Chains A and B, each alone.
Chain A
Amino acid sequence: MTLSRKAFLRVTGLSFLAVAARKAAGAITGKRWAMAIDVAKCLKQDNCTKCIAACNAAHNVPSIPDRSHEVRWIWKDSFEHALQSQVDEYSPLRAAPVMVLCNHCENPPCVRVCPTQATWKRDDGIVDMDWHRCIGCRYCMAACPYGSRSFNWMDPRPYIHDPDPAFPTRTKGVVEKCTFCPERLAVGRPPACVEACPEKALVFGNLSDPQSPIRELLAARRHVRRKPELGTGPDIFYMV
């Protein structure tokens, strides 16, 4: 078969265009999961820890009393600490606790440093973890600017009081964190914390869809993200 120079260039050009078009189409139609946390709504119920309890139960997160061995997926931190210098000293939110979890960053530093790709960014934006691959080097913990990752310094099983066999526990020597519940998303359910919140203060949704509730919320309300100056692009938004 002979191919003229002109025909060759035409075929090559069209192939490149097709690949680019497919990528662009994928970027538009693909999902990008994110969460918006309404701080004021979250404060409506005093000392509410339902989201934390639901997450811990769903993922067999151990409750280790020794703080140096603590394992956390979603927890409370002071607004001042979590969202440093993002509100002025007259804001009533300043003293309030806020829910913090893995930010599922757009540009996750933990993924860049993981030597085994045990943590990686899925196409739908979730920074997931494969505990089969984790070798416990803790580079990701050093890289994460939000302290979202915990290390199992010891066997967590004695500290899991009512384990759910549908989800594995972790073992000594692996890192763990919030995974945005891919096992629930796969069957059409929202993450455990979102489902458990009595005030609906946690809004989970698809950032790629302009009509999604989360996008409407982000369009209507002032919101901040944790440490935006670092360029990690967190996908957890705080409504203030």
Chain B
Amino acid sequence: MRDRGLIYSGLAIFLALVTFPAWHNLSAGVTAKGPNVRLPASEKQCVAPAEYMRTSHMTLLMNWRDEVVRAGGRDYTAPDGKRYVMSLTPTCLEQCHGTKAEFCDRCHNYAAVSPACWNCHLDSRPVLRSAR
């Protein structure tokens, strides 16, 4: 047992390395909690049920895109019968969700995705005004 010191220090280093992700996240304040998106105050219902929007909003947005750009349609009738103008910034942001930073970005950052939408589509009017 003359190698006791060597073995224990080796074990300690091994344990430290194996548990590194856990304590690194603890010290960085990372939690398993989902993103904290700010929900619209004025509206209770999105253009489609929340569950569908959570999983498939890109499908819906791409259908809107094709309909508006390629087919020239502008109006969308939601499953609940309400009508919307198919437009990302004026309808989604300015009518309900307010700013990209408090809604879109929070979830996209959490999921580590960076959709190219915002390379061209602009943030809502108040955000643009305050940025100037």
Contact = CB atoms under 8 A, between A and B. Distances in A.
Q: Do the two chains belong together in a single complex?
A: yes
Name A's interface SS: loop
Interface string A87-100: 00000000000000
B122 A163 contact: yes
B69 A132 contact: yes
Interface stretch (B10-18, B26-34, B86-94): B86-94
B119 interface: yes
Interface stretch (A44-52, A143-151, A165-173): A165-173
B72 A166 contact: no
Indicate the size class of the contact surface on chain B: 20 to 34
Name B's interface SS: helix
B69 A165 contact: no
A78 B56 CA distance: 52
Interface in A133-184: 162-166, 168-171, 182
A168 B120 contact: yes
A164 B87 CA distance: 13
A131 interface: yes
Contacts, number: 38
Interface of B: 65, 69-70, 72, 74, 87, 89-90, 93-94, 116, 119-125, 128, 132
Interface of A: 60, 122, 128, 130-132, 162-166, 168-171, 182, 186-187
30 contacts: A60-B122, A122-B72, A128-B69, A130-B69, A131-B120, A132-B65, A132-B69, A162-B132, A163-B122, A163-B128, A165-B89, A165-B90, A165-B93, A165-B94, A165-B122, A165-B123, A165-B124, A165-B128, A166-B87, A166-B89, A166-B90, A168-B120, A168-B121, A169-B122, A170-B120, A171-B116, A171-B119, A182-B72, A186-B74, A187-B74
